[in-house]
Structure 1
Amino acid sequence: MQQPSFGFVAAISNEPKSSLERTAHREEGGSATWELYLRRRSLIQQFLRSSLSLRYLQKQQDKVHALKRCSFYLDIEPKYVNVRDQNHVLHRTEVLQLIDQQRLQRMRKMGKAQTQIQLLLLTELLEQLQQGWEELNFYVEVCDTVTFFSQWDRIRQKLSKLTGFMETLLSLEFPGKICVKHSLVSHADLTGTRLPSIRLSLYTKMPVVFDRSESFALKNWARLKWVTGNQESHLEQCELSFKLLTVGLETGVNRTRQVSSSSCIVPDLKPGRSYEFTIRRSPEQTLVFDEWHDTIVLTTCTAEDWWSSTCAKEDEVTHGRASRFIHLKSYE
């Protein structure tokens, strides 16, 4: 990842704190002051167009926005160890199965708190950088030379703070380690087996999102398709939930099913009604933070519309395509 260059900060730091320090040795003080103003203004403009450019701010905003939608998990190292049973036979065992469940829950809570703090800090840093950009841009685009020089100490301090914020932002873009102060494994059943030190850290998975170009509803059924941004060869277990969006005193019931594919046919829907569908990964033992889930609203055709040209054409086009997915897991 390309890190921001802060070489201009040293250049600004070497600038005299007062214009009088520079103009005292010049015969034409006005000309020297103007040259000093142009040089300082140019350095700040360079900062706003390179390291703290609007493109950089938008890129960081997109990263934080995507990170807030991710799922955070505990990463346990090592994954497997050799454990000796009562007959002194070694067995390859998953470390997760050896960890005390109460201690694992504490680590999950710690991981969740750490993740929430990280996301809050990233949001705050982005706000500070945006405000800093606006303030510096005001000094170079609006202020006259007198105001500019009178605020130079403040500008220098602001530049120093902003460069620090950018470095901190860079360090928070990825989940970190979790400090383990006590043993996570009860040694009562290990029969003398000595385990290596267990290390915990956090990692993310991209969110599951609906493919809106491939998800649709007809008269009394709907087809949902979703994708993930992870480069995984196997299909993950997901939870697909849906509910009828009610009208008046009508009550709707939420229904949820486990799905092991990337698409699903949902039958037995009411014609001419809107349904809200939500997709998420099925919870795992190591999940610590998973607050954002993608949602899509689809509306089925009414009985009258079913015979209209629009729905009829849609059915003709999609009937053959949908039949290929009839073998997928359906809702009862």
Structure 2
Amino acid sequence: MFIRSITMDEVKLACTSSNECGAQEASSQKDTLLDLHNQIAHLFCTRLSENSIMVIQEKLQLMQRSSYYLEIQHDDSLPTADQQQQTLNLSDSTVLSLIDQRKLRRAMTLANTQVKLLLTLLGMLYEEIISGCRELEVFIIKYDQGLVDSDMAASTQEKLQRTHQYLNDFESRLTRNLGPLDLQNQLILNTGQYPMPQLSASLATKMPVMFDRCESRVTSNAAHLCWGVASQQSKEPCQEFEIHMKSLHPTADQDQFIKSTCQSYSIHFNNLTPDRYYQFSVKRVDTVNLVYGLWTDTIILKTVSVFK
């Protein structure tokens, strides 16, 4: 049997080759970590910047504070470009007399559930985005300290991909239409005398009502309050608002609680007591087709003192 001896040159060549492979692997890993670092840094400058996070939070709050309404459309014929589906007014007694109230309540419950699911999902996505932001920040700190290993890099890469997906899902849910609702049964009472009109149901969203804290003001015995609708540039006509006013003085009389409704975007209260705190709240007047709306804006103002 012939056994070839290994020369010293071959040993050096093998060692050199092994060292080169190790160096290439280390260089490749360093490039991978640097690329991951740059991806995260770019995300922090764009979609996860401080301003972007504030915008996401504000969008979530707007959705949580909005009012949601069930709308019933008469859609026997497809609407043309200049003719929309006719929305039925559920507060109209004639319309209500045609609708099966038991089925309407089911539709309202379905709509309420759909809104709650959407708001819960948006809240969960927001929490996941914030959680991902914290974990990605930890990676940046560890990277700068030279303490990142391959396992941490792999988990961070996965977290980065999931955070991108959460951001995409959050944005898509904000713009996705809440309707139409899938009604298994027609809402119209079937008397058998006439053909039943075809109805469809959808959810309409109205942005929250909020006090204009710059325009609202008090004197020694009066308060002038102004409000508007979030994200709404012009004032929509035919909107009805409910305003509450009460004194926060511990010995205030019961008649110092006032409830008013108006169709304007401002109201004036007279005969207030000087040097006293008053609490005011405003919201839209509840309607029969309101399925979800918890937000009421509140402001506390103190009347001016009167010195003798």
TM-score grouping bracket, smaller chain normalisation: 0.7 to 0.9
Q: Give the C-alpha shift of residue 109 in structure 1.
A: 2.5
Relative distance call for 1:80 and 1:241 in structure 2 (3 A) is farther
TM-score by length of 1: 0.71
2:128 is aligned to 128
* Residues 15-164 of structure 1 aligned to structure 2 (within 5 Å): 28-78=24-74, 94=88, 96=90, 97=95, 98-143=98-143, 147-164=148-165
User: Contact 1:244/1:252 (CA < 8 Å) preserved in 2?
Assistant: no
RMSD between aligned alpha carbons?
2.9
Aligned residue runs from structure 1 range 1-332, under 5 A: 28-78=24-74, 94=88, 96=90, 97=95, 98-143=98-143, 147-174=148-175, 176-177=178-179, 178-188=181-191, 191-196=193-198, 198-229=199-230, 230=232, 231=234, 233-247=236-250, 250-253=252-255, 254-302=257-305, 304-305=306-307
- Aligned identity (percent) is 25
Higher Rg: 2
| Superposed displacement of residue 26, structure 1 | 6.6
Q: What are the Cα deviations for residues 262-312 of structure 1, in whole angstroms up to 9, with x where unaligned? A: 22221222233221111111111211111111112222234x43x6xxxxx
What amino acid sits opposite 1:260 in the alignment? Answer: Q
| Preserved CA contact (<8 Å) 1:139 1:148 | no
**CA pair 155-267 structure 1, distance change in 2 beyond 3 A:** same
Q: Deviations over 1:27-48 (max 9, x none)?
A: 6444343333323322333344
Offset of 1:64 from its aligned partner?
0.5
Indicate the larger mover: 136-145 or 205-214: 136-145
Q: Is the 8 A contact 2:245 2:281 kept in 1?
A: yes
**Unaligned ranges ≥5, structure 1:** 1-22, 82-91, 308-332
The question of whether the paired residues in 1 share the 8 Å contact of 2:36 and 2:157 is answered with: no
Question: Displacement of 1:63 after TM fit?
Answer: 0.5
Q: Is the 8 A contact 1:75 1:203 kept in 2?
A: yes
Amino acid aligned to 1:282:
V
Partner-residue secondary structure (3-state), 1:277 = strand
Aligned residues: 270
Offset at residue 95 of structure 1 (A): 6.6
Distance 1:131 1:272 in 2: 46
Shift of 1:201: 2.1
